[in-house]
Amino acid sequence: MRFRLAFLVGLLPLLVLDAACGDSSTAAADASVDAQAPDTTSQPDAPVGLAVLGSYAHSIDSVSMTVIHEGPQLSRPTDLAFHPTRKTELWIVNQGDNSVALVQNPGTANQKTGKASGAGGQHFLARPSSLAFGANGNFATSHETDQPTQQTTPADFMGPTLWSSDPAIFNAGHAGHLDMLHNSPLGMGIAWEKDNVFWVFDGMHSAVARYAFNSDHGPGGADHSDGEVGRYVEGKVKRVADVPSHMMLDDKTGLLYIADTGNNRIATLDTKSGTPGAAILPNYDGTTQRRVDDATLTTLVDGAKAGLKKPSGLELHDGLIFITDNETATIYAFTTDGVVVDWLETGLPAGALMGLTFDDKGALFIVDAVGERILRITSK
């Protein structure tokens, strides 16, 4: 069954639509006294930090944190992202009930909210850990499960799903999906590269995998044969159960930034490195599936040295890498050289922070998975 829902211009056909909610002293004549005076001109400036993180105060009191949305449309939210062209639409994946929530015009008097949960979502949107939009408006989700999600398929028959964001098509279920490939159970994170190409944090194989859906099979189809899968750095990244490991690709450098939660680090994968290796089995889709050998994976930030415990959310913004720490509920900003710029202690409980994103005005949006809320952080 496919849910047919009321259409609101600019908003998905979602199940629920609500309105939201000096005096200078005399110089001493003695040269030895002058030599002892502090040379303030050579002292380094105090850290300035980032306004959105409290300008190096590190306290939640130094910023404005607002609850944008909470309630039954959120069920353990794990990730969120703004639509690339309809920039007032904030999309949220719910791991608790295999659904997608949407907030339009967040934080304004015109805020609208909705939710989609379609038939077949227990497979095509099973326990979503993350989502990523492409420039063409399609998006993909990864799924943290290694259990059977259909009666006719095995437990390891899981991988990323490709979706249309067209409100006439999307329903968060079988009839609304565009494609799906099956090689990465326990998918913990996802990042867009180009066209219908995405990178997945493959928790089952402790690897990072490149998924090229190529030409999708259309809404509700089943032909996956033109897909391509490459599995990189197998055994070199590590999943932590129930903590997403988000990723993002810098298309200028080809570096994939990875919140490697289990190894407590921020890593980079040079996506231009590596050579094709052996075929991957089982191959449920009849696709081209190979390992990629000798790709370059580098530790950018050693979490133990930087104060991290369980890095989870990751976003590239204004030339910086923003990280959420799931255990300490702290948000960090690093340079792309791995130097910490600022951090904010949110005061949220352990396990709350996962995905994060920015709107086009520079406001920071985060999920609170424990409180089942969406929060916005801005400078005071």
* 276: CB partners within 8 A, 6+ apart: 230, 290, 291, 292, 293
Rounded to whole angstroms, the Cα distance separating 67 from 375 reads 5
Rounded to whole angstroms, the Cα distance separating 295 from 276 reads 10
- pLDDT bin (cut points 50, 70, 90) of residue 3 is very low
- Give the residue-averaged pLDDT of 148-163: 93
Q: What is the pLDDT of residues 200-224, one digit of tens each?
A: 999 999 999 999 999 888 888 676 6
- pLDDT bin (cut points 50, 70, 90) of residue 30 is very low
Which pLDDT value is given to residue 27?
38
Within 13 A of 188's CA, how many CA atoms are on the CB side? 29
Exposed / middle / buried, residue 179 (Cβ in 10 Å: 0-12, 13-18, 19+): buried
For 124, the enclosing helix (H) or strand (E) is helix 121-124
- pLDDT bin (cut points 50, 70, 90) of residue 107 is very high
- pLDDT bin (cut points 50, 70, 90) of residue 45 is low
Q: Above 90 in pLDDT, residue 57? A: yes
- Give the residue-averaged pLDDT of 85-106: 98
Q: What is the pLDDT of residues 287-346, one digit of tens each?
A: 999 999 999 999 999 999 999 999 999 999 999 999 999 999 999 999 999 999 999 999
Closest C-alpha among 98, 61, 70 to residue 371: 70
Kindly report whether the global pTM for this prediction surpasses the value 0.85: yes
3-state secondary structure at position 178: strand
Domains of the chain (ranges plus CATH)?
48-379 (2.120.10.30)
For 358, the enclosing helix (H) or strand (E) is strand 353-358
CB 132, CB 19: distance < 8 Å = no
